[in-house]
Amino acid sequence: MAEARGRFAPTPSGELHIGNMRTALLAWLQIRKENGMFVLRIEDIDRQRSRRNYAETILRDMRWLGLDWDEGPDIGGPFAPYTQSERLERYEAALAGLEQKGWIYPCYCSRADIMAAASAPHGLESEGPRYPGTCRHLSQVERLDKGKSKTPSYRFAMPEDKSISFHDGVAGLQCYSSDSGGDFVVKRSDGMIGYQLAVVLDDAAMEITDVLRGSDLLDSTPRQLMLYEALSLKAPRFAHVPLLYGPDGKRLSKRHGSVTLSSIRNAGVQPERVIGILAYLSGLLDKAEPVKPGELIPHFQLQRIIREPVVVTTDLLMELSSYT
Ligand code: GLU
C-alpha cells in the first residue's frame, strides 16, 4: 500500500485557535499512527485575507504544541513550494487544460445578480447561494459581447443529475446530487484562483492520501471529487471532524474568551494541557489530563472521534485561560 500522506492546510487569516489546533492534532495523529508523512501547506491564495505574519505564527504555535511536519514551507520537500501563492502557474496550467476540455466557462454575473435570481434555492452551506447557471449556455457571440464590459470569472460546469457519494472516515457514507451547489467559481474575475481548485491540485500534486479536516468543508467534497474526475486525478480518502462550539451553542470564536494559542500560552498554560483537552474533546481520552502528542498516537482511531458537534464547557475554557 502506498505510504500514508496527510496534511494540515491552514489559511493564514488569523491565529490558530483551539478549533483548528484540534484539526491539526487529529490530522497529525492519523498520519503518525500510520508512520506516514505529514505535510504543512499554507493556503494563502486569498491575498486579502492572508497575512505573512499569521503564517509564521501558525508554524511557531504548532511547534510549541509539539506537532512536527516532514515537508512544509520552512523545510521544503519533494513537492515544494508548500505555499499556495507560490504555486499560481500550476493552477493556471490546470485551468487551461480544463478550459480546453470544456469543463469551465466564463461567467459574467455579479454576486448581486446571483442573489437576485429569484428561483435560486439555498446552495451548499459552505458555498453561499446556488449558482442558477445563467452563463453556462451563452453563445460565443453573447460571451464576446458581455466580455466587452466585464472581465469574467470562470466556473466549473458540474455534471447534471449525477449522484456523488463517498465514504467519510468520520461522518460515514455521504451522498450528494451534483447540482445541489450549482457550478462553482474556479477563478474569480479579479484573477484569484478558487479554493476548490487549488486544494485539489495541491493535494494531488503532493500525493496526499488522507485528508482530515473540519466538517465545515464536508459539503465542499463533492465538488472536489468532480474536479478530481475532470482532471483525471486520484482522490484521497476524506475524514471530516465535527467543529467545536462554545457553551452557548455558537461556533467557538474569540467571543468565548481565551481560544487563540497565543492567549492560552500567555496565560501560562502548558502545551500538554492544551493537547490533553483537545484529545478529550475529540473522544481520544476519557479525562482531560496533560499529555504529549506522541503519547496519543496509540490511542488514535478514526472510529473513536466524536461524531456530534463538540461543546467546550465553561470549565474547560477557564482551564485554558489560567494556569492551574
Ligand atoms: N485552508 C482551509 C482552511 O483553513 C482548509 C482547506 C482544507 O483542509 O481542505 O479552512
Could you tell me if the CB of 213 is within 6 A of ligand 1? yes
Q: Which helix (H) or strand (E) holds 141?
A: helix 140-147
Q: Which residues 6+ apart lie within 8 Å of 146 measured at CB?
A: 108, 135, 138, 152
Domain membership flag for residue 231? no
pLDDT of residue 118 exceeding 50? no
DSSP single-letter state for residue 269:
-
Q: What is the pLDDT of residue 181?
A: 81
pLDDT of residue 275 exceeding 50? yes
Compare 79 and 112 and report the one with higher pLDDT: 79
Mean pLDDT, range 52-74, rounded to an integer: 96
Could you tell me if the CB of 221 is within 6 A of ligand 1? no
Query: What distance in angstroms lies between residue 20's CA and the mean position of ligand 1's atoms?
Result: 9
Q: How far is CA 186 from CA 84, 195, 250, 260, in A?
A: 15, 7, 31, 31
pLDDT of residue 120 exceeding 50? no
> Residue 67: which CATH number?
3.40.50.620
Does residue 93 sit in the same domain as residue 187? yes
Domain that holds residue 37: 5-85+236-300
User: For 222-231, how does the pLDDT look when each residue is reduced to its tens digit (9 = 90+)?
Assistant: 999 999 999 9
Pocket test for ligand 1, best of 199, 212, 228 (most atoms within 8 A of CB): 199
Could you tell me if the CB of 199 is within 6 A of ligand 1? yes
Does residue 259 sit in the same domain as residue 290? yes
Does residue 96 sit in the same domain as residue 157? yes
Query: What distance in angstroms lies between residue 13's CA and the mean position of ligand 1's atoms?
Result: 11
Does residue 189 sit in the same domain as residue 244? no
Domain membership flag for residue 141? yes
User: Cell 487544460, residue?
Assistant: 97
Does residue 20 sit in the same domain as residue 64? yes
> Residue 128: which CATH number?
3.90.800.10
172-177/163-168 β-pairing? antiparallel
Q: 8 - beta bridge partners?
A: 40
Does residue 102 sit in the same domain as residue 163? yes
The number of domains in the chain is 2
Does residue 117 sit in the same domain as residue 147? yes
Residue with CA at minimum distance from ligand 1 atom 7: 9
Domain membership flag for residue 96? yes
Q: What is the pLDDT of residue 320?
A: 87
Instruction: List own/partner pairs for 261-264 with CB under 8 A and 24 or more apart.
Output: 261/15, 261/16, 261/17, 261/18, 261/21, 261/61, 261/64, 261/65, 262/15, 262/57, 262/61, 263/321, 264/18, 264/320, 264/321
